[in-house]
Amino acid sequence: MAKLFDEEGNPVEVLDQEAIAALEEKAKRTEELEAQVKERDEKLSKFEQKDFNWRKLETATEEEKAKMMEGFSAEKQELIEQEAERRKEISDLKQGINDERQEAVLTAIAGNDEELRNQIKETASTFIGEARNIKELTDRYSNAYTLIKGAKPQVNPVNLYYPASSPKEKVSGTKFGETEEGKSNIKAWFGVDV
């Protein structure tokens, strides 16, 4: 480094040509690395859920999947495939739960009448939005039934009966008809000896 002096006479260090060339080389290398980082960031941004089209991947054929995977490393492709498998498994589980709920609600409203079940499903599918829980699904199918039949679904009154005691309730050792008071009452009421 060459030594120069400022206006006040203080020594100031100045870089020589070799140091300037080394700094310029480091700057070029830094720019190259920044460009590589930017390129990788662009590639990685495809993995963000809002940018990568997972639904398209689920329904794609093998050729379309291969085309979508172009440009990704083998490791990234494996990660994408694993994520797609997890998403499919979750989707299948949700669909299974939803199907069970639909079946339970349809059985409660339409029983075994297949024609009415199909009409309810068809009418409910015309409603806007989707049912997020069992209550919304029940309301949706109940409203569909009301549109089809012109009246709200009636619950069988037999199904509403809840006995105060269960049929398996334990009984004490002796029955009323076996006691002396019970025998005398039966004879007085019915004229029969027990």
Span 157-184, pLDDT tens digits: 665 555 555 555 555 667 778 888 888 9
Length of the chain equals 194
Q: What is the mean pLDDT of the chain?
A: 76
Contacts of the segment 102-106: beta carbons below 8 A, 24+ positions apart: 102/137, 102/141, 105/134, 105/137, 105/138, 105/141, 106/141
- Global pTM reads 0.44
Model confidence pLDDT, tens digit, residues 124-141: 888 888 888 888 888 898
131 is written with which tokens? 């049912």
Nearest to 46 by CA among 83, 99, 95, 94: 83
Give the pLDDT of residue 162: 54
CB atoms within 10 A of CB 43: 13
Higher pLDDT, 172 or 116: 116
Q: Note the Cα 36 to chain centre separation in Å.
A: 37
What percentage of the chain exceeds 70 in pLDDT? 75
pLDDT of residue 38: 72
Q: Minimal CA–CA distance to 95: which of 52, 143, 58?
A: 58
81-85, Cβ contacts within 8 angstroms, sequence gap of 24 or more: 83/54, 84/54, 84/57, 84/58
- % of the chain residues with pLDDT over 90: 4
